[in-house]
């Protein structure tokens, strides 16, 4: 007897239409080889034009809430995006006994603590592979393949827009705003790019990866989140000359007392690091499992078809879970709000730093800076003084040895009182 | 109600003891958060010393067949290796209604066509994530995450021994035999390294990946399999100077008439290719999904704990499948022998080639070779003539444009009749 599952789809944008295409292409295989018969029984979309693309026989509506209540829907795919609507729809769907698949990272990051316990209560699956890293199977890997591992650390490139902009800025030495405008023209950046370029989208995804890795709720609002708007082509050039690439990273590392280091910032990566060669809109996760060792998973971080691939993968996963009586693993690792991990403040970091000073060109400036850094216990790995064509004053680059971030910040505050300092100092962390 | 599963383990070598360690470490988590209570109820090993390491209360025997028959075993982990014994044990276990987890690539590649239908007949799971790429989650990715994809192609580094040897030969310009001896001393190569260095171990794994990707049986005995024993430091140096790394690759590509290109050979990879930076014993799979796009998964390709991580991941997977009535996806993609894919012969390849000629130093030799290649329709991308210190005669390197392999081989046969040819010509393929 094949398993019959009736699917309701909310949203027929690029992901939703990708899902319809994949179901049409692969439906025969699902039926003949996996013994799973899928029917799209109901669809909601905002426009009549979109609804016209729904499969024959599917109920059509502009009201997503209808999809979540219909008795002929077993599994709801929430592919509309946004937060408030989807929270209401998914909650209703779970209460009505439906399994749910979503690719909505903002929703899972913010409302996971309500939604996962709700799914567990009604013994339904809430699957979300497409929420992080597009078609990269990182959610399944953390929940299933690495189930016997503690996660010793993670660094990830999980915002394709930022990675694309940084790649273009590096390769073509163009400023951030020019690269952003091009990315918008290419459709790689939104009209309002704030969520991406300020790092908040990466923070949403990092919070989800943290919850999967450490099995407690991690609140992205408590992270230190720095985007890429302050990165200049000069930084990328100086970093490159020193053997580093600059990437926007989400970083996880277990800290003392069961706390977690979980922050988003642009970081220098030695060019030999596997993440340093992830270019353009690609995403990648570098994850260290206590038993499995160090792994890289990389691929397209977004896009209609890659995300649809993840959604349909989840859909089949849900079908396979429908018959069993275990709590689904997709409900167990994201915990209610009370089980929240405390974050290690980013100021507690001990790291190597990239410091770029902009100074008036007076004799002895580099000496005074080095002396002051030494007074704060900060040793120097590499120092370079340059007069740059077309740039007033002098640029000094210092790469520090491992130092406490609080010491570095204190030292910078002191240095900024020096009369020869002509501009804001750029501080970037080096990820090893 | 928690799910209770009783585990029988065959083999307590590095993987088996790794599994015991992970079960001890993670058992509390499995029980409290996944609702799965695992007990090791029976263990077999060849030596009494090994059996002493079994958990208290577990039945101990030196006869693996006992494990497969005991009523207090629900899931058998076959971690002994070899082929004949495991085939008999796993067959018996499935017939006795037990699920099976194995990391035995030779067995799955050779006997999958008997074992998977048997598992399906008795509605039991036969899981084998650890058989390919150690802890890299490639089996799960192909079977589950990419279930909505056709696989447009794959290239993989799936033999850590060969990759380690090639890395050392490249970095330190040492000959194959020296690198092999070192690898043996380090435990990275077997006392009899034939299976690894001649490429057959990679062929076993490639056959498994092919069956997962194309859902039909692929016979590794029909592949063209070339190992790395004929690669010289000179090849690695000339390739490196031209911007390439040399890796032992397994390559899959759909061919005409539903046939499959599936062969193992050392290939040149442009240094920008993500597989070119996979060094040492690491493994990596580059896979192109029709919807998901291009992905890389990399990590430790072998080793006790990484493989144990994959085995315990499979064990939890089996537990989750125990309650449902679908055929497990772990039984459906490897098909019986009758559904065999025909292979595209490697001679049908159209590729760029690396050709290294060893010639007596006579005027006009390079001209004669170029002229002859042209007569066979083979155009040249790059040519280099070098007199190498300590090497008699002259070395000529030619990188061809895209050419038919049969034409290249015909041309080489002709060239080998030239009186000034002083040694065998090295032919390597360039993977794009």
d(CA A89, CA A267): 38
Q: Answer whether B401's CB lies under 8 Å from B414's CB.
A: no
pLDDT at A392 (0 to 100): 77
Whether A357 and chain B come into contact, CB under 8 Å, resolves to no
Express each pLDDT in B63-118 by its tens digit.
999 999 999 999 999 999 899 999 999 999 999 999 999 999 999 999 999 999 99
Are A313 and B277 inside 8 Å of each other by CB?
no
Mean pLDDT of all residues in B279-301: 97
In chain A, pLDDT over 70 holds for what percent of residues? 97
Burial track A354-380 (b if 16+ CB lie within 10 A, e otherwise): bbbbbbeeeeebbeebbeebeebebee
Any idea of the CA torsion for B82, B87, B88, B91, to the nearest 10 degrees?
150
d(CA B399, CA B381): 5
pLDDT at B330 (0 to 100): 46
Burial track B94-115 (b if 16+ CB lie within 10 A, e otherwise): beeebbbbbbbbbbbbbbbbeb
Q: Answer whether A231's CB lies under 8 Å from A266's CB.
A: yes
Q: How far is B262 from chain A (nearest CA, A)?
A: 23
Mean pLDDT of all residues in A171-197: 96
Q: Answer whether B343's CB lies under 8 Å from B251's CB.
A: no
Q: Regarding the domain delimited by B3-138+304-332, which CATH topology (the fold level of the hierarchy) does it fall under?
A: Rossmann fold (3.40.50)
For Cα atoms B355, B356, B361, give the angle at the middle one, nearest 5 degrees.
135
In chain A, pLDDT over 90 holds for what percent of residues? 86
Mean pLDDT of all residues in B216-230: 97
Q: Answer whether B58's CB lies under 8 Å from B37's CB.
A: no
Domain A349-431: assigned CATH number: 3.30.70.260
d(CA B185, CA B179): 10
Mean pLDDT of all residues in B216-238: 97
Q: How far is A134 from chain B (nearest CA, A)?
A: 8
- What CATH number does domain B141-300 carry, 3.40.50.150, 3.40.50.620, 1.10.10.60, 3.30.360.10? 3.30.360.10
Mean pLDDT of all residues in A202-223: 96
Are B309 and A320 inside 8 Å of each other by CB?
no
| Closest Cβ opposite residue A316 in set B137, B147, B289 | B147
Domain coordinates in residue numbering, chain B: 3-138+304-332, 141-300, 349-431
pLDDT at A325 (0 to 100): 56
In chain B, pLDDT over 70 holds for what percent of residues? 97
d(CA B1, CA B3): 6
What is residue A423's DSSP assignment? S
| Residues 219 through 248 of chain A touching chain B, CB cutoff 8 Å | none
Express each pLDDT in A341-383 by its tens digit.
999 999 999 999 999 999 998 888 889 999 999 999 999 999 9
d(CA A162, CA B29): 37
Q: Confidence class of residue A324 from pLDDT cuts 50, 70 and 90? A: low
Q: Kindly name the residue from A98, A140, A205, A216 that is annotated as catalytic.
A: A205
pLDDT at A338 (0 to 100): 77
Beta strands in A121-243, from DSSP E residues, in sequence order? 126-127, 151-157
B39 Cβ neighbours under 8 A, 6+ residues apart: B4, B5, B6, B7, B57
Express each pLDDT in A132-161 by its tens digit.
999 999 999 999 999 999 999 999 999 999
Which residue of A lies nearest to B128 if distances are taken between CA atoms?
A145
Contacts 24+ apart (CB under 8 A), B88-96: B89/B10, B89/B64, B89/B65, B90/B115, B90/B126, B91/B115, B91/B118, B92/B65, B92/B68, B93/B67, B93/B68, B94/B118, B94/B119, B94/B122, B94/B124, B94/B126, B95/B122, B96/B68, B96/B69
Is the ipTM reported for this complex over the cut 0.85? yes
Residues facing residue B210 across a β-bridge: none
| Out of A112-121, A241-250, A290-299, least confident range | A112-121
pLDDT at A64 (0 to 100): 98
**Helices marked H in A122-198:** 138-140, 160-172, 176-186, 194-197
Higher pLDDT, B390 or A422: A422
Whether B33 and chain A come into contact, CB under 8 Å, resolves to yes
3-state secondary structure of A146: coil
Domain A146-300: assigned CATH number: 3.30.360.10
Express each pLDDT in A27-73 by its tens digit.
999 998 888 999 999 999 999 999 999 999 999 999 999 999 999 99
For Cα atoms B29, B35, B41, give the angle at the middle one, nearest 5 degrees.
80
| Average pLDDT value over all residues in chain B | 94
Mean pLDDT of all residues in B283-294: 98
Express each pLDDT in B301-356 by its tens digit.
889 999 999 999 999 999 988 866 555 554 555 567 778 999 999 999 999 999 99
Q: Cβ-count burial of B116 within 10 angstroms (0-12 exposed, 13-18 middle, 19+ buried)?
A: buried
A6 Cβ neighbours under 8 A, 6+ residues apart: A38, A39, A40, A41, A72, A73, A74, A75
B275 Cβ neighbours under 8 A, 6+ residues apart: B155, B156, B157, B247, B249, B269, B284, B286, B296
- Name the token pair of B204: 């076993």
For the cut 50, the answer to whether the pLDDT of residue A14 exceeds it is yes
Which residue of A lies nearest to B300 if distances are taken between CA atoms?
A293
Q: Can you give the pTM of this predicted structure?
A: 0.95
């Amino acid at each position: 007897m094949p398993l019959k599952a009736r699917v309701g789809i909310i949203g027929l944008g690029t992901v939703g239409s990708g899902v319809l295409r994949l179901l049409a292409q692969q439906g025969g295989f699902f039926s003949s080889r996996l013994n799973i018969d899928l029917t799209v029984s109901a669809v909601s979309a905002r426009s009549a034009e979109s609804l016209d693309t729904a499969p024959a026989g599917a109920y059509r509506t502009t009201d997503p809430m209808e999809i979540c209540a219909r008795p002929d829907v077993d599994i709801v795919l929430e592919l509309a995006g946004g937060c408030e609507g989807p929270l209401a729809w998914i909650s209703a769907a779970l209460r009505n006994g439906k399994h749910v698949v979503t690719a909505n990272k903002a929703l899972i990051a913010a409302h996971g603590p309500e939604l996962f316990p709700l799914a567990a209560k009604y013994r339904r699956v809430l699957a979300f592979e497409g929420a992080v890293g597009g078609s990269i199977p990182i959610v399944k890997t953390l929940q299933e393949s690495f189930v016997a591992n503690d996660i010793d650390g993670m660094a990830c490139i999980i915002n394709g827009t930022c990675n694309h902009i940084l790649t273009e800025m590096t390769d073509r030495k163009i400023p951030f705003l020019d690269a952003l405008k091009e990315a918008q023209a290419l459709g790689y950046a939104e009209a309002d790019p704030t969520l991406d370029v300020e790092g908040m989208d990466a923070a949403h995804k990092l919070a989800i990866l943290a919850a999967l890795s450490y099995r407690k709720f991690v609140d992205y609002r408590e992270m230190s989140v720095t985007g890429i708007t302050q990165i200049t082509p000069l930084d990328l050039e100086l970093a490159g000359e020193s053997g580093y690439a600059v990437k926007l990273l989400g970083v996880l590392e277990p800290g003392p007392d069961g706390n977690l280091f979980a922050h988003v910032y642009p970081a220098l990566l030695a060019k030999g690091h596997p993440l340093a060669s992830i270019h353009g809109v690609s995403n990648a996760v570098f994850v260290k499992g206590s038993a499995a060792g160090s792994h890289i998973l990389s691929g397209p971080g977004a896009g209609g078809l890659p995300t649809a691939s993840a959604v349909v993968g989840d859909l089949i996963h849900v079908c396979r879970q429908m018959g069993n009586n275990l709590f689904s693993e997709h409900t167990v690792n994201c915990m209610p709000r009370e089980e929240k991990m405390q974050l290690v403040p980013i100021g507690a970091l001990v790291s190597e730093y990239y410091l770029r000073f902009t100074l008036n060109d007076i004799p002895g400036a580099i000496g005074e800076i080095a002396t002051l850094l030494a007074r704060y216990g900060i040793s120097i790995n590499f120092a370079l003084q340059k007069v740059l064509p077309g740039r007033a004053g002098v640029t000094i680059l210092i790469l520090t040895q491992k130092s406490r971030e609080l010491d570095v910040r204190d030292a910078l505050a002191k240095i900024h009182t020096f009369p020869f300092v002509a501009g804001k100092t750029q501080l970037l962390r080096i990820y090893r």
